[in-house]
Chain A
Amino acid sequence: MNPNQQTYPQENSFLLEVVQASGEKIQACYQCQKCSAGCPVAYAMDILPNQLLRHIQYDHRERVLSSKTIWICASCYTCSVRCPNNIDIAKIMDVLRNLAIHSGIKPGEKDIPLFHSVFLDTIKSKGRIHELSLIIQLKSKTKDFLKDAGLGWKMFRKGKIKLLPSRFGGGKEIQEIFNEFEKGARR
Chain B
Amino acid sequence: MRASGLNWQGLMEQLQQALPHCDVTDQSLAYFKYPKRTVTMNLPVQMDDGSVMVFKGFRTVHSTARGPSMGGMRLKAGLNAHECEVLAAIMTLKAAVADLPLGGAKGGVDVDPAALSPHETEGLVRRYTSEIVELIGPRTDILAPDVGSDAQMMAWMMDTYNQNTDTTVNGMVVGKPLPLGGTYASKDARGRSAALITARVLQEAGRSLHRAPCAVYGFGDVGRKAAQTLAAEGAMVIAVSDQDGATFASGGLDLEALSQHREMFGTVEGFATDITVNELLELDVDVLMLAYDYGTINASNAYAVRADYLVEATNRAVLPEAERFLKERGVVVIPDLVASLGGAVVNYLEWVQDASNFFWTEEEIEAAIDERVNAAVDGVMEFMQTRDLDLRTAAYAVALNRLHNATVMRGVYP
Chains A and B bind each other: no
